[in-house]
Amino acid sequence: MNANAKSVTPPIGESERPARTAAVIPAAGRGVRLGPGAPKALRPLSGTPMLVHAVRAMAGSRAVSLVVVVAPPDGADEVQRLLDAYPLTGTTEVVVVPGGETRQESVRLGLAAVPDGVTTVLVHDAARPLVPVDTVDAVVAAVRDGSPAVVPALPVTDTVKRVEPRTGDRAGEPEPVVGTPDRAVLRAVQTPQGFDRATLAAAHEKIVLEGDGATDDAGMVERMGVEVVVVPGHEEAFKVTRPLDLVLAEAVLARRRKNDGF
């Protein structure tokens, strides 16, 4: 791991100073649960594509010097044009690469575009466009302090049951409850998840999951036996998944505009 990296000052000239922290934004999903329409990441929130909000959220952290956007497999040119229409104000570089069929594959492809010299990688869902910069900074800080894998998370507010799912012919039947985990030990995880770059790369090399793949990068790191830690998440880092989430996102943006006005 890179726990000692901070104490080493590499002799690097100004012009070749490498990017130290990069954010990979998987944005290649269709957004099936959001209903018919454009790919989820391209849908507008307060007139601006969700993806642009997400890119700004990452670039808003002073630590992040590169953002890798993972576009739908056949949509990299369209996403590149879209991002060109919303230039960033700071110095953060943005690159676009085509993604894959699953989120795990998309993250792997994004990670492959991260240049040498980057030691910390954030993975952030385009579908969490409103994460506050303080949350991003807290994740980066925890990785730089030596944790190889850091996840922002919130306590679970609903009581959660384990059930025996009824699928196929039996879908829709009442599902038997098989347990109720103690809510006090549960956390709902968000993104950006932050990683020591080598740890995340090793997880994506070694962990192969069937079907839909991993929906959570930290889960892959856990499977390698590496410790993952949780830092406080934020309610505005919620994932836009279903139509009601769009209503909430618009309300959050309206509140921010109102607060900015005073």
**123 lies in the binding site for ligand CTP (CB under 6 A):** no
What is the distance, to the nearest Å, from the Cα of residue 64 to the centroid of all Cα atoms in its chain? 14
**219 lies in the binding site for ligand CTP (CB under 6 A):** no
**99 lies in the binding site for ligand CTP (CB under 6 A):** yes
First-to-last C-alpha distance (Å) of the chain: 45
**129 lies in the binding site for ligand CTP (CB under 6 A):** no
Stretch that binds ligand CTP, among 23-31, 58-66, 132-140, 199-207 (CB under 6 A): 23-31
**218 lies in the binding site for ligand CTP (CB under 6 A):** no
> Which x/- pattern, by CB under 5 A, does the window 10-49 give for Mg ion?
-------------------x--------------------
**255 lies in the binding site for ligand CTP (CB under 6 A):** no
What is the chain's percent helix, strand, coil content, to nearest 5?
35, 20, 45
101 binds, among ligand CTP, Mg ion, none (CB under 5 to 8 A by kind): ligand CTP
> Residues touching ligand CTP: how many (CB under 6 A)?
22
Identify each DSSP E strand in the chain by its residue range: 21-26, 44-45, 48-49, 64-71, 93-98, 120-123, 149-155, 162-163, 177-179, 187-189, 193-196, 229-232
Identify each DSSP E strand in 85-228 by its residue range: 93-98, 120-123, 149-155, 162-163, 177-179, 187-189, 193-196
Candidates 28, 76, 151, 218: give the one binding ligand CTP (CB under 6 A).
Answer: 28
How far apart (Å, rounded) are the C-alpha atoms in residues 187 and 157? 9
**41 lies in the binding site for ligand CTP (CB under 6 A):** yes
Question: In terms of Cα–Cα distance, which of 17, 127, 110, 128 is closest to 67?
Answer: 110
Contact set with ligand CTP (CB under 6 A): 26-33, 40-41, 70, 99-103, 106, 125-127, 239, 241
Contact set with Mg ion (CB under 5 A): 29
